Structure 1
Amino acid sequence: MARNFEYHPTPGGAARSRRQDHQAPLLPNPEKESSFRSRFLLAVIYLLMVGVIIRLFYWQVLHRTRLQAEAESQYQRTITNIGQRGKILTSDGYLLVTNAPVYRLYAEPHLLKRPAGELSQLLAPLLVDMDPEIATQPALIAQQRQDLQSTILNRLSQPDRRWVALKQKITEQQKKDIEALDIEGLGFEEYYVRAYPEASTAAHVLGFVGKNQAGEDQGYFGIEGALDKELRGQADKQTFNKDALGFHLFFDQLEDQPITDGRDVVLTIRRDIQHTVEESLKNGIERYGAVSGSVVVMEPKTGKILAMAAYPNYEPGYFYKYPSDTHKNPIIADTFEPGSIFKVLTVSGGVDAGVINPDTQCTKCDSARRIGEYTIKTWNDVYNPNITMSDALAKSDNTAMIFVAELLGQEKFIDYIKSFGIGDPTHIELQEDTSTPFRKDWKFIDLATSSFGQGIATTGMQMVKAVGAVANDGKLMRPTIIEKVIDHQKNTEIPVEAVEERQVITPTTAQTVATMMEYAAQHGEAQWIRSKTHSVAGKTGTAQIPVEGHYDPDRTIASFIGFSPVEDPKFVMLVILREPKSSIWAAETAAPLWYNIANKLYLLLNIPADR
């Protein structure tokens, strides 16, 4: 039989038990506490993981490129070598521009055993550039030595630098002198710079090589500027691993891209003709006291430039020593009012349109022409009633040219002038080729003054191109100064073909105008200097220079343009002299210089006499 369990509290126990139940504190629930702690730890871990992920994203995604570059820089090095720039040669094979080896002197400061001060004193005297301009000036040499010493000391006093350049363009002799000092921690890097064996010859054709904003070589002006991409060598990048000291691990080259040299450019210029033209121009400017001058010689049948010269000149290898306005080629970059040489184009249009012929008489040439508020006179204020067109061109009669322009009419006159290429770029392969477009709101006074080359802007190259068409049976040839481009990598030569742009006037018109120009050369103001051995078709031009709204009668641009021989022209040439002092007239300055050069061209080009 089951026994009931009975509980018998001790006396007072019940009361004590109730009192204890009422006063005892509540104990924490172990299960709840464990759950809260777990959630808290999970939250902390989660936040840490999120932080790690964000940090990883920050470094491995946002800054991946920079970190990778920094890491690679610790064990990789990339050397960039540029292929040599292409050479520039004359048509007869003479080098005008090439590349010469020079050296960069550098130091590795952590390898140097001698104090920086001692080294700067040793090196500075050996690094002075003995430029001919300062070779005889001890004060300038001393200043250069002091500047070099200060620069070298400053660069060597940087112990945290592993490599510093001390001097660029070290010559072979300077390199040998420094090597003889046997200084540990110095070194040389060979590279090439542009060299000009002919000094200033054809400077305005060649241009020069300078530095762009990125510090890279870039061609400016002339051929160097226009054909920079053709001449520029391509980069070669060599990437290799290096050890902790920065030395090349030769067995572990990672990348090697081949060097590609630039293309060579062969010009149409002949060295002997270019030298002759430059020397003659310089002498002419000195003889006639001109401020400046220019000459261009072109083959009318091909458009090839045989010579192009301007003075004052400069040396492309030292371009930074000359005023910046000396760098541009005035023959293609400067516009000017051509004056009476422009009358050749006015007459050409009149003959081609059939409104005049050589014997047409001017019925409005008996006095000065009054056009609105303007009075237009002849250059000498002498008037020739009923003058023929041949005599008008020879005597350079302004009123006769207005007569021709009136017969043509404004629209047809402008059409002819534009067809000759006036107002448009000539498209010669030089960087500064420029033009001045025609005004749209022409008035009758503009037609009148333009007929004799005043109030209209052109360039020397445009005039040679235009008159070249008269010498070439009316065919307008595009002027070119490039014979061919040579690509040595592909072993190919790319010739530049002659380009006929259009037929401006008929062959008959061209022959008629050529005869009128020959008559002008024989009977005009420059007849005293005419050739006795060769026929010449030519025209003088004396243009007053506009200043502050009027023309200065004492300042002129004197010019002479012509071609020879007349029946079979071998060259067309323009001579321009700005502000000659001996005489303001072209017949006494530009014309004799033209004939002086022409007489030499007959010999150089083997042109037989035809008179």
Structure 2
Amino acid sequence: LFEMEKRLFLVFCLFLILFLSITLRLFYWQVASFESLKLIALQQTNISSVIKAGRGSIFSADNSPLVINQPAYLVFAEPKNIKDKQSTIGKLAEILSLDAASVSAKFTTDKLSWIPIAEKVEAETAEKLNTAKLAGIGLAQDDKRFYPEASMAAHLLGFVGKNQNGEDQGYFGLEGYYDDQLKGRNGYLKEDRDISGNPIIAGERTFVEAEKGRDLILSLDRTVQYIIEDKLKKGLEKYGAIGGSVIVMDPYKGSILGMASMPGYDPSKRLEFDLSLYKNPAISSSFEPGSTFKVLVMAAAVNENKVEADTEFDEKGPVEIGKYQIKTWNQEYHGRIKVPEIIQYSSNVGMVFIGEKLGSENLLKYIRDLGFGQLTDIDLQDEGTPNLRPIDKWYAIDFATTSFGQGIAATPLQMIRAVAAIANGGELVKPSVVSKIRDNNGKIISLDHKIERRIYNTESASLVKEMMVQAVEKGETKFLKPIGIRVAGKTGTAQIPIAGHYDTEKTIASFVGFLPADKPKFIMLVTLREPTSSPWGSETAAPLFFTIARDLIAYFKIQ
């Protein structure tokens, strides 16, 4: 009997242990691991699909498309459904015009259920894939950017590439700056599916519609842009320059009417171009403005009542600044001349006199107030600015050379904005490219134009404006000006600093001007880098300026 009781007790213990084990296991599954197991279950049955948002388009001022979306496709593979891998790879390579080895390299593992093969595939190629009926190969909508005007305004527009997460992202220009506005908001579909991947009728289903990105409407005028790109290209060839920029701007609003830089690139074929060409030189490259800077210093001296129109200066010869000697650009001296003639003759020694009258503190103040050494905050990605030297690094020779535009650097955009303060009567404007944003409902949001601050009083700006008119009518460019229209302008020629000294043979030639002078329709800056036909702005940049100006006069019907 004792033996039987012992056996029953052992059986009881075994059943107890088994019961406790099952209980603990159930507790582990249903309580301790509930959240993690729930997550696994959801991952297996609750399938989420991203619905890509369409990117917003970009339009010129007349609502003509500059960048729109074109139907394109993502080609993907599902390895478990591919019957003959090598045959499939060969056919993919042939249809997609890819190297077979590069396609094969994508199939490095069998663990992935989904593999992207090619992106932004055009509809014609996608149709060939559909016709081929390759098992395990699929297509998904993946729109690509299309440029109806080809490479026009490429630096201004930028392009769409992939970020580190493999998502579309805008880079450079408007695509980069307004990426958040343009990219929209992706939607998604979440639904419960069974083990075979079929939707469960009684399961949960959540659908959030994708929200298309907003459209940008620019101040850019297509005709103006075409004119400046065409003339700039011909100008580079004619004057043998390695590069150049043209900016056309409304001097009152700061709206960019046209902006071109060469050499450039085609955004639809950007991978065929050097990466250095993606940056927009008009907003990121720096140059010493040379004589175009003289009008800004002159306006400051007039504004501070340091000189007047009838103030005289004796231009009798070179000026000594310490161990340095400053001469006129052509080494001609005119004796006693009045202030307006300093601009007309583009006298370096005369500008040293004006700079001394203005004073070093005032000179630095106006340089900062005009925005040099600071970003203009134009709505384009990747704007740059050269820095001003520290205050304690300014010496007498620096103040002297700055008065005639050497020893100080600026971007073309900074320069045209500063001179626009003379054109518009004394105010510093904030430059901009986008004038309106249009949402999905067609609602238009107009962007306000911003006046940063007043730099010159109206009388001072008018006086210097007249000096610039006389510089055109009596200076080196008198034979270039259009008949019957008053043009205010100034040439510039600056040697290029290399390794601590100036290269005597390489220059940046420029011309800045606005017209009609009394109430300008536009202001324009032309810069040419290293022209070989002549180093002088009066013989390269100025003729190009007036060639463009004649077309713009006809287009805007200026009389």
2:395 is aligned with 1:443: yes
Contact kept, 8 Å, 2:51 with 2:209, in 1: the verdict is: no
2:50 is aligned with 1:99: no
The code of the aligned residue for 1:413 comes to L
Partner of 1:473: 425
Partner of 1:425: 375
Q: Secondary structure at the match of 1:583?
A: coil
Residue 528 (structure 1) aligned to one of 469, 479, 486: 479
Deviations 1:508-528 (A, max 9, x none): 111111110011011222223
Q: What's the CA shift for 1:294?
A: 0.2
Q: Identity rate of aligned residues, in percent?
A: 38
Partner of 1:401: 351
Distance 1:218 1:294 in 2: 27
Structure 1 window deviating more from structure 2 (161-170 vs 311-320): it is 161-170
Distance 1:155 1:543 in 2: 54
Decide whether aligned partners of structure 1 residues 485 and 542 sit closer, same or farther in structure 2, where only a CA change above 3 A counts: same
Deviations 1:406-465 (A, max 9, x none): 011111122222222222221211112333343222222221111000111111111111
Decide whether aligned partners of structure 1 residues 260 and 348 sit closer, same or farther in structure 2, where only a CA change above 3 A counts: same
Q: How does 1:74-473 map to 2 (within 5 A)?
A: 74-113=44-83, 115-128=84-97, 144=98, 147=99, 149-153=100-104, 161-249=112-200, 252=203, 254-363=205-314, 365-438=315-388, 439-441=390-392, 442-473=394-425
Distance 2:401 2:106 in 1: 65
Q: Secondary structure at the match of 1:246?
A: coil
The code of the aligned residue for 1:485 comes to I
The code of the aligned residue for 2:286 comes to T
Distance 1:461 1:473 in 2: 19
Q: Secondary structure at the match of 1:387?
A: strand
Q: What's the CA shift for 1:48?
A: 11
Deviations 1:355-397 (A, max 9, x none): 212332114x322111112221211222232222211111111
Structure 2: gaps (5+ residues) = 1-8
Decide whether aligned partners of structure 1 residues 126 and 437 sit closer, same or farther in structure 2, where only a CA change above 3 A counts: closer
Distance 1:272 1:68 in 2: 62
Contact kept, 8 Å, 1:97 with 1:195, in 2: the verdict is: yes
Distance 1:552 1:106 in 2: 56
Structure 1: gaps (5+ residues) = 1-34, 129-143
Partner of 1:71: 41
Contact kept, 8 Å, 1:426 with 1:478, in 2: the verdict is: yes
Distance 2:46 2:27 in 1: 29
Deviations 1:38-94 (A, max 9, x none): 99x999999999999889988557xx2xx5443323222211122111111100111
Q: Secondary structure at the match of 1:382?
A: coil
The code of the aligned residue for 1:121 comes to G
Deviations 1:303-338 (A, max 9, x none): 111100000111122222211211111111112211
Partner of 1:488: 440
Aligned length: 555
RMSD: 3.1
Q: Secondary structure at the match of 2:71?
A: strand
Q: How does 1:7-22 map to 2 (within 5 A)?
A: none
Q: What's the CA shift for 1:112?
A: 4.0
Contact kept, 8 Å, 2:188 with 2:208, in 1: the verdict is: yes
Q: Secondary structure at the match of 1:592?
A: helix
Q: Secondary structure at the match of 2:422?
A: helix
Q: Secondary structure at the match of 1:307?
A: strand
Decide whether aligned partners of structure 1 residues 77 and 411 sit closer, same or farther in structure 2, where only a CA change above 3 A counts: same
Distance 2:290 2:31 in 1: 74
Distance 2:18 2:396 in 1: 93
The code of the aligned residue for 1:300 comes to P
Contact kept, 8 Å, 1:243 with 1:249, in 2: the verdict is: yes
Partner of 1:581: 532
Q: Secondary structure at the match of 2:313?
A: coil
Distance 1:251 1:153 in 2: 42
The code of the aligned residue for 2:172 comes to F
Larger radius of gyration: 1
Distance 2:21 2:118 in 1: 57
Deviations 1:257-308 (A, max 9, x none): 1211111000100111101111111110111111100000011122111100
Distance 1:193 1:528 in 2: 49
Q: What's the CA shift for 1:249?
A: 4.6
Residue 539 (structure 1) aligned to one of 490, 497, 519: 490
Q: What's the CA shift for 1:186?
A: 3.2
Decide whether aligned partners of structure 1 residues 212 and 509 sit closer, same or farther in structure 2, where only a CA change above 3 A counts: same
Distance 1:230 1:243 in 2: 38
Structure 1 window deviating more from structure 2 (241-250 vs 550-559): it is 241-250
Contact kept, 8 Å, 1:108 with 1:186, in 2: the verdict is: yes
TM-score (norm 1): 0.84
Contact kept, 8 Å, 1:109 with 1:158, in 2: the verdict is: no
Deviations 1:233-259 (A, max 9, x none): 101111112233334457745211121
The code of the aligned residue for 2:85 comes to A
Q: Secondary structure at the match of 2:365?
A: helix
Structure 1 window deviating more from structure 2 (230-239 vs 529-538): it is 529-538
Distance 2:102 2:383 in 1: 42
